[in-house]
């Protein structure tokens, strides 16, 4: 099963991208049970204060939830502004539900 954690930040001021990159690097290097397939960081094309962190997972969990990695990233970013942390599960387009 593939799933993604999306942590979206609308910061109170212009993002310090270097500080955020360093923070995410430090957090992702910490010990984690299960490693994500990838971590990507996006900035909004127009709104400079919006940032989105996508943590992609491939796991056999039946009902995935927020990982400890995702929770640590969300906790570290929440002081910078308004935060949303959500979990999305990939749906097979050929699956007739």
Count how many residues are written for the chain: 97
Least confident range of 31-40, 47-56, 66-75: 31-40
- As a whole number, mean pLDDT of residues 8-31 equals 77
The pLDDT tens digits for 23-38 are 777 776 765 656 777 8
Average the pLDDT over each of 6-15, 25-34, 66-75, 79-88 and give the range with the smallest value: 25-34
Are 74 and 5 in contact, with CB atoms under 8 Å apart? Answer: no
Q: Where are the domains of the chain?
A: 2-89
Residues 28, 39: contact at Cβ < 8 Å?
yes
Domain 2-89 has CATH 3.30.70.100: yes
**pTM greater than 0.85 (yes/no):** no
Distance, CA of 65 to CA of 46 (rounded, Å):
30
Paired tokens of 12:
């109170």
Give the model's pLDDT for residue 74. Answer: 93
Distance CA 21, CA 30 (A): 15
């Amino acid at each position: 099963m593939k799933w993604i954690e999306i942590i979206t930040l609308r910061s109170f001021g212009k993002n310090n991208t270097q500080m955020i990159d360093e923070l995410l690097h430090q957090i992702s290097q910490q010990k984690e049970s299960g490693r994500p397939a990838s971590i990507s960081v996006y900035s909004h094309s127009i709104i400079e204060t919006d940032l989105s962190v996508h943590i992609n997972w491939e796991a056999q969990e039946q009902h995935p939830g927020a990982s400890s990695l995702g929770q640590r990233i969300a906790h570290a970013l929440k002081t910078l502004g308004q935060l949303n942390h959500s979990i999305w599960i990939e749906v097979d387009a050929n699956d007739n539900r």
